[in-house]
Amino acid sequence: MTCALVLSVVVVLTGCGRHAPALTVDALAHDPQRLRPLHHQCAVARTQVGEATCRIVDVAYARRFFLSLGGPDEYQTLISLPPIPASFDETDDGAKP
Protein backbone atom coordinates (compact mmCIF):
# COMPACT_ATOMS: atom_id res chain seq x y z
CA MET A 1 0.00 0.00 0.00
CA THR A 2 2.79 2.43 0.92
CA CYS A 3 4.61 1.59 -2.28
CA ALA A 4 1.52 2.40 -4.36
CA LEU A 5 1.08 5.72 -2.53
CA VAL A 6 4.71 6.71 -3.10
CA LEU A 7 4.47 5.70 -6.74
CA SER A 8 1.33 7.77 -7.29
CA VAL A 9 2.96 10.83 -5.67
CA VAL A 10 5.99 10.44 -7.92
CA VAL A 11 3.77 10.18 -11.02
CA VAL A 12 1.77 13.27 -10.04
CA LEU A 13 4.89 15.32 -9.34
CA THR A 14 6.46 14.23 -12.63
CA GLY A 15 3.42 15.53 -14.49
CA CYS A 16 3.84 18.93 -12.82
CA GLY A 17 7.30 19.50 -14.32
CA ARG A 18 8.20 22.47 -16.45
CA HIS A 19 6.97 22.36 -20.01
CA ALA A 20 8.75 23.90 -22.98
CA PRO A 21 7.32 27.31 -23.86
CA ALA A 22 5.16 27.55 -26.95
CA LEU A 23 6.85 28.23 -30.26
CA THR A 24 5.23 31.54 -31.17
CA VAL A 25 6.56 34.58 -32.97
CA ASP A 26 6.29 36.82 -29.91
CA ALA A 27 7.91 34.27 -27.59
CA LEU A 28 10.84 33.77 -29.96
CA ALA A 29 11.26 37.49 -30.68
CA HIS A 30 11.73 38.14 -26.96
CA ASP A 31 13.99 35.13 -26.32
CA PRO A 32 17.24 35.32 -28.32
CA GLN A 33 18.66 32.19 -26.64
CA ARG A 34 15.95 30.13 -28.35
CA LEU A 35 15.82 32.16 -31.56
CA ARG A 36 19.50 32.02 -32.57
CA PRO A 37 19.88 28.21 -32.60
CA LEU A 38 16.57 27.76 -34.41
CA HIS A 39 17.53 30.40 -36.96
CA HIS A 40 20.84 28.63 -37.57
CA GLN A 41 19.12 25.22 -37.87
CA CYS A 42 16.69 26.64 -40.42
CA ALA A 43 19.57 28.11 -42.42
CA VAL A 44 21.43 24.80 -42.46
CA ALA A 45 18.64 22.22 -42.74
CA ARG A 46 15.28 23.85 -43.40
CA THR A 47 13.58 20.64 -44.53
CA GLN A 48 14.60 18.76 -41.39
CA VAL A 49 13.38 21.50 -39.04
CA GLY A 50 10.13 21.97 -40.92
CA GLU A 51 8.77 24.73 -43.12
CA ALA A 52 6.16 25.90 -40.59
CA THR A 53 8.74 26.20 -37.80
CA CYS A 54 11.17 28.04 -40.05
CA ARG A 55 8.48 30.53 -41.12
CA ILE A 56 7.80 31.31 -37.45
CA VAL A 57 11.53 31.71 -36.84
CA ASP A 58 11.94 34.00 -39.87
CA VAL A 59 9.07 36.25 -38.80
CA ALA A 60 10.36 36.36 -35.21
CA TYR A 61 13.87 37.23 -36.44
CA ALA A 62 12.52 40.09 -38.57
CA ARG A 63 10.22 41.29 -35.79
CA ARG A 64 13.13 41.34 -33.35
CA PHE A 65 15.04 43.58 -35.74
CA PHE A 66 12.19 45.93 -36.71
CA LEU A 67 11.04 46.41 -33.09
CA SER A 68 14.64 47.13 -31.99
CA LEU A 69 14.62 44.27 -29.49
CA GLY A 70 18.19 43.32 -30.28
CA GLY A 71 21.06 44.35 -28.08
CA PRO A 72 24.19 46.22 -29.14
CA ASP A 73 25.96 42.96 -30.05
CA GLU A 74 23.34 41.91 -32.59
CA TYR A 75 23.18 42.82 -36.26
CA GLN A 76 26.80 43.95 -36.55
CA THR A 77 27.17 42.99 -40.21
CA LEU A 78 24.91 43.24 -43.23
CA ILE A 79 24.68 39.46 -43.51
CA SER A 80 23.12 39.27 -40.03
CA LEU A 81 20.27 41.64 -40.98
CA PRO A 82 16.92 40.05 -41.86
CA PRO A 83 15.64 40.60 -45.39
CA ILE A 84 13.36 43.59 -45.80
CA PRO A 85 10.01 42.70 -47.37
CA ALA A 86 9.35 44.09 -50.84
CA SER A 87 6.11 45.65 -49.70
CA PHE A 88 4.60 46.20 -46.30
CA ASP A 89 1.16 46.19 -47.90
CA GLU A 90 1.26 42.44 -48.55
CA THR A 91 1.05 39.60 -46.04
CA ASP A 92 3.44 36.66 -45.94
CA ASP A 93 1.08 34.77 -48.26
CA GLY A 94 1.28 37.50 -50.89
CA ALA A 95 -2.38 38.43 -50.49
CA LYS A 96 -3.50 42.03 -50.13
CA PRO A 97 -4.99 42.86 -46.70
Each residue's pLDDT tens digit, 48-73: 989 999 999 999 988 887 887 776 66
Flag whether 1 is in a domain: no
Which residues are CB-neighbours of 35 under 8 A, at least 6 positions away? 28, 29, 57, 60, 61, 64
Flag whether 90 is in a domain: no
Flag whether 65 is in a domain: yes
- Helical H segments across the chain, by residue range: 2-15, 25-29, 32-44, 46-49, 51-66
Flag whether 97 is in a domain: no
Flag whether 36 is in a domain: yes
pLDDT of residue 1: 60
Flag whether 43 is in a domain: yes
Flag whether 17 is in a domain: no
Domain limits for position 41? 22-80
20 by Cβ neighbours in 10 Å (0-12 / 13-18 / 19+) ranks as exposed
Give how many domains the chain has, as a whole number.
1
Flag whether 93 is in a domain: no
Least confident of 19-28, 46-55, 76-85: 76-85
Give the rounded percent of residues in the chain with a pLDDT score beyond 70.
51
pTM above 0.85, yes or no: no
